[in-house]
């Protein structure tokens, strides 16, 4: 999958299921290019989210919610997901 398409899907899925004030998705795959576990077609993403809804949950619960929303992408296209919630 193309990284731009993946980023668009991630944003759309999260925004459709969580009340979001601001979201940014960054491709950090280049940081892991030479790691032994790096796989072609699997991306490392960094999510930065401002959300009152997620802010009311514990860090574990908010991460679980995001992982559930992105479960299909995590299986197919995302190797690593860094989540920052403001």
Say what the pLDDT of residue 30 is.
75
Confidence (pLDDT) at 37: 56
Q: How many domains does the chain have?
A: 1
- Could you tell me how far CA 64 lies from the centroid of its own chain? 12
Please, which pLDDT band fits residue 34 given cuts at 50, 70 and 90? low
Indicate which CATH number applies to the domain containing 48.
3.30.300.90
CB atoms inside a 10 Å sphere around CB 44: 19
Query: Structural domain of residue 34, as residue ranges?
Result: 3-85
- pLDDT, tens digit, 9 for 90 and up, residues 55-78: 999 999 999 999 999 999 999 999
């Amino acid at each position: 999958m193309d990284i731009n398409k993946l980023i668009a899907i991630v944003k759309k899925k999260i925004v459709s299921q969580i009340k979001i004030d601001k979201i940014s998705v960054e491709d950090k795959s280049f940081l892991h290019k030479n790691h032994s576990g790096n796989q072609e077609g699997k991306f490392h993403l960094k999510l930065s989210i401002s959300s009152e809804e997620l802010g009311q949950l514990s860090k574990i619960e908010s991460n679980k919610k995001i992982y559930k929303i992105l479960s299909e992408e995590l299986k197919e296209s995302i190797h690593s997901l860094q989540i920052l919630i403001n």
